[in-house]
Amino acid sequence: MTHTTTRFENAPETALDWHTAGVGAVLATVVQTWGSAPRRTGSMLVISGDGRMQGSVSGGCVEGAVVLEAQEALQDGQHRLLEYGVSDEDAFAVGLACGGTIKVLVEPIGSAMPVDLLQQLVARRATRQALAYEVNIESGVRRLLHDSHPDRMRMDRSGMEEDDETFVAVHNPPLRLICVGAVHIAQALVPMARIAGYDPVLIDPREAFAASDRFPGETILDDWPDEAVAKLGLDARTALVLLTHDPKLDDPALQAALAAECFYIGALGSKRTHAKRVDRMVAAGFTEAQIERIHGPIGLDIGAAGPAEIAVSVLAEITAVLRGKVE
């Protein structure tokens, strides 16, 4: 089976593959934490019936115990909720100052978690659909929800609901950063964005700028920007950054973004440059509400000087918008 997920925890995909191959599979998910737990809520470990595992629920502290519980779950077909205390010593071994407590939900595939539900989850993840997987730990009722739990989805925050029975696992598509303009700022911004968890893509039809030796290992498209963004697709997990200063390059991508659901649109340039940009978008027929989505001049005002600091301000603003701190 071929999957399209990149930089995306692929435990559900692996679990489906192992189940389909007939070896059995169990998903273990961190559903609650206290203190400095080694892994955040929603972290997943998948265990096969023949003892293989992928992912992590504790950075190595309790994986062995979870694997044993998973093998028992495969035998009896029942999900189970496990609780572990992570000692200060174990926490220090995985880079934390102190320990904590975690609860882990163990779900055997094909009994506790229906195969058709897992297939739906994998299929929708492959097409970049945002979903919440909701399971009632007491009743065992499970469902996939679209356009639900908006605060959790925006914050990428899986966790228990207030009833202490319902766990919500957030399955957002990977974050993506599209940079139009392979300029000096992009040389700093792209690696920063990758560290922050984005899949960056560069667009620039200018051969001198879009040289692979300027962006080693990165994806660079030399198409005209409107053609490139049409190929990539623009969705609610995409940030678009326009860095060329050239309306012939920036505007086609900008117009595509204003008609799409990008969570962030930012454009480089002075206030005067941005005012001209706004005039062009008005002339192109976009509404005031659409045009107000453009962050220009781009980035938070941190007094940035030079390409690297501008890149910091841009990534900070993207983060603030993503997390609902800035509109």
Of residues 324, 173, 176, the one with CA closest to residue 239: 176
Q: Which residue is listed with tokens 């998903």?
A: 27
pLDDT, position 131:
95
Give, for all 327 residues of the chain, the pLDDT tens digit: 333 333 457 999 999 999 999 999 999 999 998 776 667 899 999 999 998 999 988 776 788 889 999 999 999 999 999 988 766 555 445 444 455 788 999 999 999 999 999 999 999 999 989 999 999 999 999 999 998 999 899 889 999 999 999 999 999 998 999 999 999 999 999 999 999 999 999 999 999 998 999 999 999 999 999 999 999 999 999 999 999 989 999 999 999 999 999 999 999 999 999 999 999 999 999 999 999 999 999 999 999 999 999 999 999 999 999 988 887
pLDDT of residue 7: 40
For residue 161, what pLDDT is reported? 95
- Single-letter code of the amino acid located at 37: A
| β-strands 219-221, 238-242 pairing | unpaired
Under 8 Å CB-to-CB from 164, ≥6 apart: which residues? none
Per-residue pLDDT at 155: 87
Residue 159 · residue 31 · CB < 8 Å? yes
Domains of the chain from N-terminus onward: 11-171 (no CATH), 175-322 (3.40.50.720)
What pLDDT is recorded for position 96? 44
Give the pLDDT of residue 71. Answer: 95
Global pTM reads: 0.77
> Per-residue pLDDT tens for 123-165?
999 998 999 999 999 999 999 999 899 989 988 999 999 999 9
Do residues 149 and 170 make contact, with C-beta atoms less than 8 angstroms apart? Answer: yes
> How far, in Å, are 53, 89, 180, 265 from residue 98 at the CA level?
26, 8, 43, 40
Q: Quick check: helix, strand or coil at residue 233?
A: coil
